Amino acid sequence: DIQMTQSPSSLSASVGDRVTITCRASQTISNSLNWYQQRPGKAPKLLIYVASSLQTGVPSRFSGSGSGTDFTLTISSLQPEDFATYYCQQSYTSPYTFGQGTKLEIK
């Protein structure tokens, strides 16, 4: 199975900050990488697919980049509603594994 490792596991930041979350795959996955946001008590929501494509309706402050084994999710200017947990997921080969999550908290 492909292992997905996110860093950091948790992160404290302030409204207006620029934040970057990293996801690393244990083997190359081309650009088959998705990002999800999960707010407390809610189902995950798709933010980014195939590494850098912004899902319809997702604010443009979210962006994704990377290919191969290293990927990043960037939030350009944090808003109060962005404090949540973020997960990456590889869709290169089954089983389509998730990362362990990055919890973004208010500083």
Which residues bind to other proteins, rule: CB under 8 A? 1, 30-34, 36, 38, 43-46, 49-50, 55, 87, 89, 91-92, 94-101
What single letter denotes the amino acid at residue 81?
E
| Least distance CB 24 / other proteins (angstroms) | 15
Q: Which is nearer to other proteins, 38 or 76 (CB)?
A: 38
1 or 105: whose CB is closer to other proteins?
A: 1
Phi-psi region of 47 (alpha: psi -120 to 50; beta: other; left: phi over 0): alpha
As measured in angstroms, the least distance from the Cβ of 44 to other proteins is 6
Alpha-carbon dihedral 79, 91, 67, 87, rounded to 10 degrees: 30
Contact in structure between 107 and 91 (CB atoms under 8 Å): no
Closest CB 51 distance from other proteins, rounded Å: 8
